[in-house]
Amino acid sequence: MSLSQFIVYACPQGELAEQIQDFYQESLDLCGFNAAHNYMPHCTLTGFFKDQESKISVYIQALETAYNTAKITANPLKIHIIKMTFQSDWQGLELEAEGIPSLMINFAQLANSPTRPEQLRLKTWLHLSLAYEFQPQQAQILEDLAKTRINLQAQVDWELRFYQRHPDNSWTCHQSWRLKP
């Protein structure tokens, strides 16, 4: 039986998400394609993992349980933007998340599937990529565009999302949960 590809993201909603989407489109128009254009605005919480489609409910239930447990603990489910970073090979927002790391550890412990060939890989460097794998001569153009288009103080809400990536690089969001402080 073939395995499907899954991942857990935290995705921005609201004004900041709109600014990032606009940045993606303008950067594509100005500089052409870079790897960030393959994705919706997101913060990666797990690496991609493979399993049978019939196991989707296992992951949704594990995330639901971990989410509900996290909501009743002392840690708020918040994501803060620390800063915008510009490097020669990566540009994006560096993030800090209260409560999310323990939620994800709990999810990894609960998401037991005998058909998943590998352990879940939880991410420790939380960030939202604006651009990467771009031509070096485009770095300053992308930086200037980000600085003029993205307001780090813009209104933003975050959602925890469980995605499936299909072979044609289309996506299905199977479930989402609002991350509230």
Query: Within a 13 Å sphere around the CA of 39, how many CA atoms are in the beta-carbon half?
Result: 20
Task: Give me 38's structure tokens.
Answer: 């393959």
pLDDT tens track for 72-106? 886 789 999 999 999 999 999 999 998 999 999 99
Q: What's phi and psi for 180, nearest 5 deg?
A: -120, 145
pLDDT tens track for 114-142? 999 999 999 999 999 999 999 999 999 99
For the domain covering 4-179, report its CATH number.
Answer: 3.90.1140.10
Ranges of each domain in the chain: 4-179
Place of tokens 């600085």: 147
For 38-61, b/e burial (b = at least 16 CB within 10 A) is ebebbbbbbeebebeeebbebbee
> Is pLDDT above 80 for 181?
no
- pTM as predicted: 0.95
